[in-house]
Amino acid sequence: MRIAFLTASEGVEQVELTEPWKAARDAGHEPVLVSTKPGEVQAFHHLDKADTFPVDEVVGDVGADSFGGLVLPGGVANPDLLRMDDQAVALVKEFFEQGRPVAAICHAPWTLVEADVVRGRELTSWPSLRTDIRNAGGTWVDEQVKVCSHGSNKLVTSRKPDDLKAFCETALEVFVG
């Protein structure tokens, strides 16, 4: 299965990209780096520049129907930049409209808020997003990993890098389930 990993051109938290990527690849799936610009994505270790990663697809050139699931890695800047990109927001919304599974960690739910897909859902995130999630009609919970089924769509969320093991395992179960 092809799994989209959506990031802005910079600001993604490296471990929140690389650990789910490795888990997907090790499980026999094809991770695809989708970004807002062609070229490379600049990852970060919190606020320090880390590695760069080659972009496979540009957000305006793909649709949700090309993938079995979507992973939204965090980092503070990454989802903030994504939510300012109309095509990225539209792609996220398309995954929900098509009932495809989505997994988001840390600050990534900011993009979900912008796509207006959290209303009526329970999810977790980095704690500073709880008010944004509540204001968007969602219910914020403080759990390592949360799976919310709403209609035909399943959403997997986690709070932080310490939750990555549970996040990766749960996301893969939901994606193939």
Active site residue 45: no
The residue annotated as part of the active site, out of 45, 46, 107, 150, is: 107
| Annotation says 107 is catalytic | yes
Q: Which of 27, 83, 24, 23 is nearest to 59 (CA)?
A: 83
Say how far apart CA 162 and CA 166 lie, in whole Å.
9
Query: How far apart are the C-alpha atoms of 30 and 27, rounded to whole Å?
Result: 9
Spot the catalytic one: 29, 106, 148, 168: 106
Question: What is the residue-wise DSSP string for 99-152?
Answer: T--EEEETTTHHHHHHTT--TT-EE---GGGHHHHHHTT-EE---SEEEEEETT
Active site members: 106-107
